[in-house]
């Protein structure tokens, strides 16, 4: 039988807290995630690199797993 291709797991990242008062590295990480303004949401593929970035700014963002359609 043909094996189904699994689509990569996706994460929905929403910027919920201002980076004012935090280090320049945190601000740069927020920008690298593609977030430009508060309450903006982006969707990225779940990778170890992305997880490392999210671990650094987890106090500034909300992370949800994207539900497959």
CATH number of the domain to which 53 belongs: 3.30.1390.20
Give the residue with greater pLDDT, 22 vs 7: 22
**Predicted pLDDT of residue 49:** 96
Predicted model pTM: 0.85
Cα separation values, 3 from 6, 46, Å:
9, 22
Domain tally for the chain? 1
Tens digit of each residue's pLDDT (9 = 90 or more) over 51-63: 999 999 999 999 9
CB 12 within 8 A of CB 54: no
The reply to whether 43 falls in a domain is yes
Q: Which domain does 27 fall in, by range?
A: 10-65
23-37 mean pLDDT: 97
**Predicted pLDDT of residue 6:** 76
The reply to whether 54 falls in a domain is yes
Q: Which band of pLDDT confidence, cut at 50, 70 and 90, is reported for residue 69? A: low
């Amino acid at each position: 039988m043909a094996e189904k291709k699994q689509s990569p797991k996706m994460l929905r990242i929403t910027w919920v807290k201002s980076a004012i008062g935090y280090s320049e590295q945190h601000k740069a990480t927020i920008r690298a995630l593609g977030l430009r303004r508060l309450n903006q949401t982006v969707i990225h593929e779940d990778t170890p690199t992305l997880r490392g970035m999210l671990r650094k700014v987890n106090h500034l963002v909300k992370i949800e797993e994207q539900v497959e359609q």
